[in-house]
Amino acid sequence: MSVRRTKILATIGPATDLPERLTSMLRAGADAFRLNLSHGTDAEHRATLRRMHAAARVVGRDVAIVADVQGPKIRIGDLAAPSVELRPGQAWRLDRDPTPGDTRRVRVELPSFRQAARPGDPILLGDGAVELKVDWVSPDTIGTRVVSGGAVGSHAGIYLPRAQLRLGAFATHDRHDAEIALAGGIDFLALSFVRDATDLAEARRWLDRHAEGAEVGLIAKIERAEALARIDDILGAADGIMVARGDLGIEVPLARLALEQKRLVRRANVAGKFVIVATQMLLSMVNSPRPTRAEATDVANAVLDGADAVMLSEESAVGHFPIESVRWLARIAEATEPSYDALPLRGLISGDPSDPPGSRAVAAAAVTLAEGVGARAIANPTHSGRTARTVAALRPKVPVIALSHNAGVRRRLSLVRGVHTLMVPPHRSLVELRREISDRLGNLPGLGTGPIVLTAGYPIEGRPTNLITLVDPATEELPSPGRRARVARQ
């Protein structure tokens, strides 16, 4: 078992959407896969999801699958060439014409051109490197002139900072894509451009109607400036958040982006929700087998901030070195994690208000005991994953082992920092559970020596976690099977 705590979420695209590439990425250290539903057809999405599940079965791992819907992001249409080069001073029109675009014009689908822009407004393309200035606006065209030039590809994002548009975060096309993803078996749905908790509530209601009993978590992508002011409400409604630095870096001053990242990670930590840091973590590795020193430092800082996971985007979707990118993330995280100090965080954690009374106190006691006796791990039998998440939120110095017979619970925990999962059958008694822990974890590679701190619901599994005990595989003496059966009936 790997002792790395920070998880790796890898976006799957043309560079990795092959069975052997998917299994290689998992063996290199990826913990979860992301499917960006903004690109590709329904048939391609279905096939990719099947290959993701098959790869997880091949390596025998619990792998979370995250489906990322496009949301209200506005994109340009098709271009006649793969990309066009826009030069400063050049005129470029945005219109409704479905004809593939060129160096003179391109299609943009907007509910209202007049509400989208006014003369003098800036318009940013892609990651903001290409800037346009609005010259004039008509009911079906926006005339612009290039301020900062560069290459623009088909379906590049377009950012209208002064637009008066109200676009839903979970529109009709997102629901269609989400239906495809649900049918393919996903664990999380990531919502783009979340504004507030109402966007998440709308998506949650839709999931309740369409998930057919499957447990699917919601990830709020933080990309809008208005979401920053409502982050606590968003955290209360989401299972986790993603700090999506690409679009967020356009919405907020670039000089403040690192500070906003740190604030978002800390707020998620305090709320006991997982947080993913994303976008351009190792961007140079699209074309290079090694990251830059600045990128290595960026990843290390995300780990030191307290991120649960770091994400690869272009690096694994279209890059030339996707496996190497995963390995480098793993190496940097493993080298950095020993320097992470969780103590200042522990006193601030509020946790989930819906947690059973006393759950945080039990988790804190388990962590204190584990670190005090030099335990090799904290083992948490769990039906929902709640106990493992609560313990992991305290960032213990030892691994958290979540034991569950529910495969969906185990997969969803694969995005939580410090949590590793094992499949175990339900237990009828504490004695059976202790024996299972001793047998399964006693010689598990990577855990070292020392006792195991075990949390449980007593007197039977399924009760809220209310018990902490020590299991030492080196000295454990349990009753014989016959005696164990009599004890279980008492």
Active-site positions read 34, 75, 221, 279
Please provide the DSSP assignment of 11-22 as one string. E--TTT-SHHHH
> How far are the Cα atoms of 155, 266, 335, 393 from residue 271, in angstroms, in the given order?
36, 9, 27, 9
Closest CA to 26 of 2, 57, 56: 56
Q: Report d(CA 221, CA 486) in Å as an integer.
A: 52
Give the DSSP H or E segment for 325: helix 322-336
What order of strands is seen across the sheet that includes strand 122-125?
A: 74-75, 157-159, 122-125, 130-138, 141-148, 91-95, 105-107
Longest dimension (CA), the chain: 86
Classify residue 470 as exposed, middle or buried by CB count within 10 Å of its CB (0-12, 13-18, 19+). Answer: middle
Cβ-based neighbours of 326, under 8 Å, separated by 6 or more: 8, 10, 25, 28, 29, 30, 312, 316
User: Using an 8 Å Cβ cutoff, are 22 and 51 in contact?
Assistant: yes
Distance CA 62, CA 35 (A): 17
Of 219, 234, 222, nearest to 189 (Cα)?
219
CA-only gyration radius of the chain, Å: 24
Helix ranges (DSSP H) in 229-274: 231-237, 245-251, 257-271
User: Any residues with CB less than 8 A from the CB of 52 and at least 6 apart, and which?
Assistant: 12, 22, 33, 35, 63, 65
Rounded (10°) angle between helices 172-183 and 197-210: 50
Say how far apart CA 355 and CA 423 lie, in whole Å: 24
Sign of CA dihedral 146, 147, 151, 153: negative
